[in-house]
Structure 1
């Protein structure tokens, strides 16, 4: 039997719940779900197609069709705080922005600082072809991701601090931003050859971009600063506001807002006249954004921000963008420009960039 043991440090507030969404609960199924996501993200380069990734994922992680997966998962928590209601302060506008909806829902959370150890015990005969991609998923979660609600926006970030295979340590913690960049570059290189074309779903490809975008001793302040920058950046895309105002005043438009690239739905409200508009897909309620924010723990009590852009086909070919407001709607072809997000990533002057 092969045993993988990954330990993570919780670096930002974690909003994770079970059936009772008003409470907070650390759940192994939720962690397994996050691992499934990152498995899909890293497996495409080796398996070649979404269909093959799905088939292999079901065998490894389990499904109603294939039965139990190839491993058992247990989770240990050390230093996990009691759950409490987050204080969305006025001076944390960036956190409020990144955690949209959590304030109104009064969701409870766990404070940063806890140690979370995930143990995976594989069934006999699993083989390297099964264990290795799961190991990479564990690393990806700890380099780029998080757990719970608004994990893509940096909340619930978990930084990998240890990775053991059958008791042998395989991970060295990066001491500073340059070492973190090197770790990320080595990980991306381990996925080669990456697909050159835009993937059919969120996955690593040759078009992936990763930036180490600054550091601070306060991880929550670091995340709050990123949220404030994003809020200002998106607000200042004046052409989008002008486009929506034209639509609301009865004018004809031929394109959707640029900021669609950050995900759907998104809304507009103009204080001057109270007009509102909603931007969504015709058949889908939401499309998660392709930008992942992660706060990573470094040596000496410092933390670094990691911004990961995983561009993919934004919507199926037949899907359209729909804009609704002032008693009318407009359907438009989906033509997303991921350059809008790359331009946001350029807002961090001391960033360290990783390209495949």
Structure 2
């Protein structure tokens, strides 16, 4: 019995901030893609294994580790025919050459200055005609191969590559997944919003190809559960403009002065500054930590960060999905875990 092979044809539909040892370089790297595939594999594995030790053990058997040794899958990148590096200090722009809006700059905070200038190089969008070839050792159990298939689908629906991938940059689109010499693909990317909804539901069908059950509780790490929420939002013919519209809405929603959505958060922080013991956390923690508060009336400030850590990533994932040559959809996934 020979090796089982998968081929994952992909595109990346928003600017990609990914590089190697030189943080100012911009390149597509198979090591980073493998790392992200492992992330989505773990997200799917928890509901099945329900043990961190078992998840680590099975992940190591598939992808390799110092304890388990060699990976049972070899991953090779067939690079896109053309990538366009965008230099540092260039201004982030749409494909028509106009400067990108405040929403897309906001979602790229840290990589992009307030005036739109890039703090590091990136690869322009879209990146087309890339592929991953995955070759599994003959001894690899069928269930393990299917678990990697499912992780590729999840990565294609919700994930991205490189820095700020949770904010929609480097959105990875799985165009087609084929297995060996089989003529019928395992997966073909849907071409409209209804097809996209069906494809996501099929991934989580407990009686479907991957028999994925959603965990009934709060996972200890980012993993799919009954507490997650997935939405297909706006559509547009331009992916970065679509991402910009989400950034605009997020800025508006988070604005205390404009929307007054988080009055309780400000009261909570005022109580803390007054010396009261607080047993709760700000609702805006959903957007990640740390975040800062400043009260102009009293000149007081406060910084909220996770206990024992400097940062906590947001459980909100933003992804831009191509449906056809002229339409893209925004997908958001809230995947909560023990905070």
- Cα 1:130–1:118 shift into 2, 3 Å: same
1:256 aligns with 2:260: no
List per-residue Cα deviations over 1:10-59 (Å, max 9, x = no partner). Answer: 11110001111122121111000000000000112222322211110011
Correspondence for 1:292 = 317
User: How far did 1:282 drift?
Assistant: 2.4
Q: 1:77: which partner in 2?
A: 79
The answer to whether the aligner puts 1:53 opposite 2:78 as a matched pair is no
Segments ≥4 residues shifted beyond 6 Å:
none
- Residue in 1 that maps onto 2:240: 220
Output the CA distance in 2 between the equivalents of 1:123 and 1:83. 39
Task: Tell me how far 1:239 sits from its aligned partner.
Answer: 2.5
Which residue in the other structure is 1:149 paired with?
163
Task: Tell me which of 5, 10, 35 is aligned to 1:8.
Answer: 10
Match of 1:195 in 2: 215
Show the counterpart of 1:129: 143
The aligned length equals 313
Would the aligned equivalents of 1:45 and 1:191 in 2 still touch at CA under 8 Å?
no
Cα distance, 1:141 vs structure 2: 0.7
Partner of 1:341: none
- Aligned-residue offset at 1:65: 1.2
**Which of the residues 184, 189, 209 maps onto 1:173?**
189
Root-mean-square deviation (CA), in Å? 1.9
TM-score by length of 1: 0.83
1:87 aligns to what?
91
SS of 2:227's partner is: coil
Structure 2 distance, partners of 1:136, 1:130, is: 10
Q: Which residue of 2 aligns with 1:183?
A: 199
Q: Give the drift of 1:269.
A: 3.8
Partners of 1:246 and 1:82 in 2: how far apart?
A: 49
Q: After superposition, give the CA deviation of every residue in 1:280-339 in whole Å (9 maximum; x if it has no partner).
A: 12211211111111000011321000111111111xxxxxxxxxxxxxxxxxxxxxxxxx
Stretches of structure 1 that go unaligned for 5 or more consecutive residues are 315-356
Q: Distance in 2 between matches of 1:283 and 1:134?
A: 33
Identify if the C-alpha distance between structure 1 residues 64 and 291 changes in structure 2 by more than 3 Å, giving closer, same or farther.
same
Residue 204 of structure 1 is aligned with which of 206, 211, 224? 224
